[in-house]
Structure 1
Amino acid sequence: MPRLATDTRIAVLGLGYVGLPLALALARNNFEVIGFDTRPEAVIPLCNGTDPNGEISDAAVTSSTMTFSYDAADLAGCSVFIIAVPTPITDAKAPDLGPILSACATIAPHLTEGAMVILESTVYPGVTEEVCGPALAAGSGLKPRDQIKLAYSPERVNPGDAEHSMENVVKIIAAQDDETLDRVEAIYAPVVKAGLHRASSIATAEAAKVIENTQRDLNIALVNEFSLIFSRLGLDTLEVLEAAGTKWNFLPFRPGLVGGHCIGVDPYYLTYRAEQLGYHPQVILAGRRINDQMGVHVAQTMVKAMLARNIGVRGARVLIMGYTFKENCADTRNTRVADIVSELASYSITADVHDPWVGAQKLQDQHGVNGIDAPDRGTYDAIILAVGHSEFVEMGSDAVRDLGKQGAVLFDIKGVFGKSGSDLRL
């Protein structure tokens, strides 16, 4: 296996769900690591031994040999820079490369000849070499490929999933030349026990990453459309899927809300690049439209169910259980539960949101919703179990129903309580 110089100092930019686990893993494997983030609110808790995202244990943080910093001057002396910053989209559904360009501007003054920059963020094919390369050159005066070595190794982090950790999932690596790729391998091989896949080019690796989540997005969109059709036919979608799943090659996707920083965002990076090349995607964007409407569909289905039970809609109180984009994590980025809250408000319905992974104050301060720490029993006209947090599953359907008034509607979006445990499910 290729080896790095013993004095190699690695900087990881971005201490979120991707960068922090990577930086800690590198430090555990005897690399000298500095974890950098421009946000003091992310760095200061780590300096005090706590991950503000709640993904990493305090013991793992306090025992690490790595350094945490939000002062760019501390990047001096590093020869490897790993960029693990978010890649969001704009309101117009176009890629927002601002965080990546900001990271490039931050590290450029500290680049020396032979330095290697590895991008981990999800991008469309071409960003590493066509966007990052020129940005790094402009800020450093060094030439990409000759004096700055570029590489790409897309993250495959799944927040809240201990089974598919970074160490347990095969990692793609790519670089501008074989020598640089060997250096990339020397960094990741000790960390990723599942092994590495050497892609033939950076663009190939970028494309592979962006289609991973696009494929999943489309599969979920398909079953969401099944759900929209079956609801009109009076059929239970999960029962239909269970029956169809008895065939050996039927894929086990289920309907639901599609949010988060990956699945609901990454397809727009690919479609943006395709449209730049004169091709107008149809299937991918159709899937996006279906998935983006599911929050509104949930709210409207709930309103219809309330009317069917003669529950007054105007002024009604609805409890929404869960606000994060998926179960058992604190990540609220691009959560589609926000669409449910907004649509219910258009019917003059008051929605209380309870999520033990986020907390009432944060829900109110950062998301502008009516967060509560503990729902009162017998209070609500309807309840929506939006996120299947383990805390909610362990309560059981009877305890959840007790939070509502007599005859309240329970909409279990993910069907965690089964058909008999709720009134509605997708």
Structure 2
Amino acid sequence: MNRSDGIGPEGRRVSVIGLGYVGLPVALAAARAIDREAAAHRIIAFDRDGERVAELRAGRDRTGVAGAGELADKRLHFTADADDLTFADFHIVTVPTPVDERHEPDLTDLLAAMDLLGPRLAPGSAVAVESTLYPGATDNILGPRLAAASKLVCGEDFKLIYSPERINPGDGDHAFGHTPKIIAGQDAVALELAREVYGPLVPAGLVEVSSIAAAEAAKAIENTQRDLNIALVNEFAQILDALDLDTGEVLAAAGTKWNFHGYRPGLVGGHCIGVDPWYLAARARQVGVEPRVLLAGRAVNDGMPAFVARRVAELLAGLAAGGEHRTNESGARAAVGGGQVDAGGAGGADSQRNPAVAARVPADKPRVLILGLTYKDGVADVRHSLVPALAVELLGLGLDVSAWDPEVDGKGREALSGGGWRVLSEAPQMLDRSAGRDQPQQTPFMPGAEAWEAVILARRHGGLVELAAELCGPCSGVPLLADLTGAFGPGRERAWPVGALTWAL
């Protein structure tokens, strides 16, 4: 049989199962690897979400990965019909592997994919899993599950491959194909199949490892290392805040040494960094190793919403009490009028006051606006974001909370509704306080302006930095700006707005 219309020397017919931020780029790359003129085969791009498939067929991608032109490629066949998988013999599985409420690995979607694929798996096929797993899961859980569903013999009738995804959503410099790809197979034949199919898809090259378990471990350790490094600077940030030191200044100075690794404090969310350590921890416990360090990092990072909420509440309480910049025993660092003010400096710990600012902060239920809701900059995904956790913490401290993110669509806003805080459907309008009255400015923002006592900048995309600067500037005059992104300050993207009390993580 002539197989020249597929991928690799054997003309493998490829399916991609799961068309999220991982699967869609893989499907696009696979389509590009097929000769446009001679191809009789199309990549089977499958997702069980019929609405998602309909959007892709219509040229719309809610993840922002692909434009209408790419989605119109005739070498792609978007489908929600599982029987279309029978036309492929190399299946790439990219479904999510989250953790449950107890932080235990949740393989529900992945096992469902095995059950769906199994009855449609032909002898001689290969199954490549890209989802994050702990070492041993592919061989010991997925292989037997797929064998039972297909009634085929794993290793003889079909081959298992593991090639962990390394996609960084929102980062065009490290898109699929631009980062070396790890591949492993259950035997030499499986590894050769992985080499033949993934080789044309990944110009950056392949990294072959000796076993599937080694590839699974490499994936888990990649993200655990990053999680721990961010946890370290998050703890630094809390210590430096208590010492009345500028975290950004200290990290910049330390970074002048050649072997210092640069990380910024922040809210660590997402499908990988906040999840993968739990997979490694689960496997460690299975083999009798207590994962102390990596779980300590998780505790620090998961505790950051509470830390930020507490600091914002303390600063607002200080303003409401009379404009005091220092609001707790640590002597919190803050700035007024665009310049840094040391609350424990020459002026005295509690002596720096701005009555005009303080008068705008009610003692009861101050209103806070969070700018940015997604789990990172440049993406539209609110799943696994820690910003909602920050909103909940602020609510628990008695604050009224609203949030706005131009990247989040109606579905995303709906997913966040019902938590006691508001997700705005349109951009907030500024109030003009420059004349002593709260009057809406003539700006392109939504009608029905609202006054806030604090703005928290959680993300930098979609013009949010500029909006924060305007809301806390002299005209609108929101009294407090808390920057979690590092956008404001000397030598950074924007100078601190004049007239507001400011605090940076």
- Larger CA Rg, structure 1 vs 2: 2
Residue type of the partner of 2:288? G
Give the aligned partner of residue 417 of structure 1: 488
Cα distance, 1:256 vs. partner?
A: 0.5
Write out per-residue CA displacement over residues 269-298 of structure 1, whole angstroms, 9 at most, x where no aligned residue: 000000111111100000000000101111
Give the aligned partner of residue 383 of structure 1: 455
Give the aligned partner of residue 164 of structure 1: 174
Give the aligned partner of residue 120 of structure 1: 130
Distance 1:336 1:404, change over 3 A: farther
Report the number of matched residues.
422
Give the aligned partner of residue 317 of structure 1: 367
Bigger drift between 367-376 and 194-203 goes to 367-376
Cα distance, 1:121 vs. partner?
A: 0.5
What is the TM-score with the length of structure 1 in the denominator?
A: 0.96
After superposition, residues 80-119 of structure 1 pair within 5 angstroms as 80-119=90-129
- Considering fraction of residues, name the structure with more helix: 1
Q: 2:429 & 2:42 partners in 1: Cα distance? A: 51
Contact kept, 8 Å, 1:77 with 1:110, in 2: the verdict is no
Q: Which runs of 5+ in 1 are unaligned?
A: none
Identity %: 44
Give the aligned partner of residue 10 of structure 2: 5
Q: 2:392 & 2:468 partners in 1: Cα distance? A: 25
Cα distance, 1:406 vs. partner?
A: 3.2
1:264 alignment partner, one of 271, 274, 287 = 274
What is the TM-score with the length of structure 2 in the denominator?
A: 0.81
Q: 1:5 & 1:424 partners in 2: Cα distance? A: 60
Aligned-partner SS, 2:161: strand
Residue type of the partner of 2:158? I
Quote the RMSD (CA, aligned, Å). Answer: 1.7
Structure 1 residue 251 corresponds to structure 2 residue 261: yes
Aligned-partner SS, 1:142: coil
Give the aligned partner of residue 72 of structure 2: 62
Contact kept, 8 Å, 2:86 with 2:122, in 1: the verdict is no
Aligned-partner SS, 1:166: coil
Write out per-residue CA displacement over residues 37-89 of structure 1, whole angstroms, 9 at most, x where no aligned residue: 11112111011111122221111111342101111111113211110000100
Structure 1 residue 77 corresponds to structure 2 residue 75: no
2:464 alignment partner, one of 392, 398, 403 = 392
Give the aligned partner of residue 45 of structure 2: 35
Residue type of the partner of 2:373? Y
Q: 2:72 & 2:128 partners in 1: Cα distance? A: 26
Cα distance, 1:3 vs. partner?
A: 3.4
2:422 alignment partner, one of 366, 370, 385 = 370
Give the aligned partner of residue 18 of structure 2: 14
Contact kept, 8 Å, 1:295 with 1:339, in 2: the verdict is yes
1:344 alignment partner, one of 381, 389, 394 = 394
Q: 1:397 & 1:41 partners in 2: Cα distance? A: 35
Q: 1:130 & 1:313 partners in 2: Cα distance? A: 59
Give the aligned partner of residue 26 of structure 1: 30
Distance 1:349 1:189, change over 3 A: same
Cα distance, 1:120 vs. partner?
A: 0.2
Aligned-partner SS, 2:200: coil
Q: 2:288 & 2:206 partners in 1: Cα distance? A: 34
Distance 1:364 1:313, change over 3 A: farther
Q: 1:273 & 1:317 partners in 2: Cα distance? A: 44
Structure 1 residue 145 corresponds to structure 2 residue 159: no
Give the aligned partner of residue 222 of structure 1: 232
Aligned-partner SS, 1:168: coil
Residue type of the partner of 1:189? G
Q: 2:151 & 2:26 partners in 1: Cα distance? A: 29
Aligned-partner SS, 2:44: strand
Q: 1:147 & 1:86 partners in 2: Cα distance? A: 26
